[in-house]
Amino acid sequence: MPEIALAIDLGTTTLAASLVDCGNGRRLAMLGAMNPQRRFGADVVSRLDAAISSGSVQREMTDLIRAELLRMAHELCRLSGIAWEDVSRAAIAGNPAMQHLLMGLPLKSLAFPPYRPLYTCGTNLKAVDLDWDGNAEIYVFPMPGGFVGGDTVSFLYGAEPGDATLCLDMGTNGEIALLNGDRIWATSAAAGPAFEGGNLSCGMVALPGAINSVRIEDDRIRLQVIGNGQPLGICGSAAIEAITELLRCGILEASGRLYDADEISSNLASRIISHNGANAFVLHRDAQRLILLTQDDIRQVQLAKSAIRAGIEVIAEKSCIRCQALKNVILTGSFGAVLRADWLKTIGVFDKSMIHITRFTPEGALVGVETALVRGDAFGSVEDFGQRFRVVPLSGTPIFETRFIQNINFPLS
């Protein structure tokens, strides 16, 4: 019987898991879900604060994520006709906070200066250590630094980037890595969940009902919806596309301000309404719901993109590679669709020089975990890869704070 293994991307906002046949590398089934810890905070810092304040809260967060991952494992087995007892191995990659909470580790070293994980190498566990049934041997990926974890290691491990390559995982934790020779310079910018649809007034993850494309043609809004049903909300990639369209059509100024209706000469003026004391743009309206892109939504995207751009500039300076000298850019994240490089240039994450050297890798962290399972070297190559990372902290760094402020506005076209 072929060896079957479980791969998990333990995201702050979203979870992804798959079953793989280690004999031929084929993915047998895949599932996505929301991280059930989100009620304790949308981002890593909020969850660490909640867990540090109460031992019972930390234990509840640990129990929640263990139970949800086990539920996903059983569902994957049901979908693929595999008995859970026949899954021999599992590997899990997440940011350090998520991995610490999963394993029930003390959090003080991570939550307070110098913001370091309890240890940096990978961890070998048994199913019982996570309160799981079954017989799986479990490997949790290395954590090179305080906010650069196993998900970054797995993303780069699976992508196999070459020299002078910038790698971006634009999720809630915003990991950034730049390769210069054998060294990998890495950091994490607290982008928040806007890129994944979180913290947006009508945001949602990329599930059926999510708007995943917004186009403006002849003053008309053209929407695409996952599953082709009625729109229920908007995912992160569509929010970014919508902002680029509003900038292109003169509905949004560089500061991020939505123009008043009487400042807009086109028929799109009728889509500007007042919402909670500020302007909002109507994406969809029917008898059941009103789906908006609000002034606060735009601000959330501005904060997220500014954090990512400032992080890129800091890491480029640290690695002595100018953005204009990059050879490749590899992008991943739970957006809900391919995030086009020209959109990122329009909102101010990318330079013009990056547009034609960018490729999008869906499920980057999950693919890396699958690659490590299929390689079958007892994760020795993953451990060696993790040793190449040099983590650059951004928190409290004057240059990051300066660049962050400089990049808040959208670029002038």
Model pLDDT for residues 143-152, shown as the tens digit of each residue: 999 889 999 9
Give residue 355's region: left, alpha or beta (phi > 0; psi -120 to 50): alpha
366-376 pLDDT per residue, tens: 999 999 999 99
Mean pLDDT of 235-260: 95
CATH T-level topology, domain 161-192+304-363+396-406: Nucleotidyltransferase; domain 5 (3.30.420)
pLDDT score of 173 more than 70: yes
Compute the residue count for the chain. 413
Q: What is the DSSP string of 228-291?
A: GS---EE-HHHHHHHHHHHHHTTSB-TTSPBPPGGG--SGGGGGEEEETTEEEEEEEE-SS-EE
Percent of the chain, pLDDT > 90?
Answer: 81
Residue type, 295: Q
Q: For 104, left (φ over 0), alpha (ψ -120 to 50), or beta?
A: left
* pLDDT for position 165: 96
Region 24-47 average pLDDT: 93
**Is residue 24 predicted with pLDDT exceeding 60?**
yes
CA distances from 215 to 19, 77, 258 (A): 36, 39, 17
CA dihedral 319, 323, 325, 326 (to 10 degrees): 80
Which tens digit of pLDDT belongs to each residue from 70-114? 999 999 999 999 999 999 999 999 999 999 999 999 999 999 988
pLDDT of residue 326 exceeding 60, the answer is yes
What residues does 223 pair with on adjacent strands?
214
Q: What is the pTM of this model?
A: 0.89
Q: In terms of Cα–Cα distance, which of 80, 335, 79 is closest to 207?
A: 335
Higher pLDDT, 199 or 235: 235
Task: Work out the end-to-end distance of the chain between its first and last CA atoms, rounded to an integer number of angstroms.
Answer: 59
DSSP 342-375: HHHHHHTSS-GGGGGGEEE-TTHHHHHHHHHHHH
Q: How many helices (H) and strands (E) does the chain have?
A: 11, 18
- Burial of residue 377 (CB within 10 Å: 0-12, 13-18, 19+) is exposed
Q: Do domains 4-158+364-387 and 161-192+304-363+396-406 have the same CATH topology?
A: yes
- pLDDT at position 234: 94
For domain 4-158+364-387, give the fold.
Answer: Nucleotidyltransferase; domain 5 (3.30.420)
Tens digit of each residue's pLDDT (9 = 90 or more) over 206-228: 889 999 999 999 999 999 999 99
Q: Are 91 and 130 in contact (CB under 8 A)?
A: no
**Can you tell me the distance from the alpha carbon of 275 to that of 258, in angstroms, rounded to the nearest whole number?**
12
Residue 89 CA: distances (Å) to CA of 4, 128, 243, 366, 379: 7, 13, 43, 15, 12
pLDDT at 49: 95
Q: Rounded distance, CA 228 to CA 202, Å? A: 18
- Is the sign of the CA dihedral 96, 102, 103, 105 positive or negative? positive
DSSP structure class, residue 48: H
What residue spans define the domains of the chain?
4-158+364-387, 161-192+304-363+396-406, 201-298
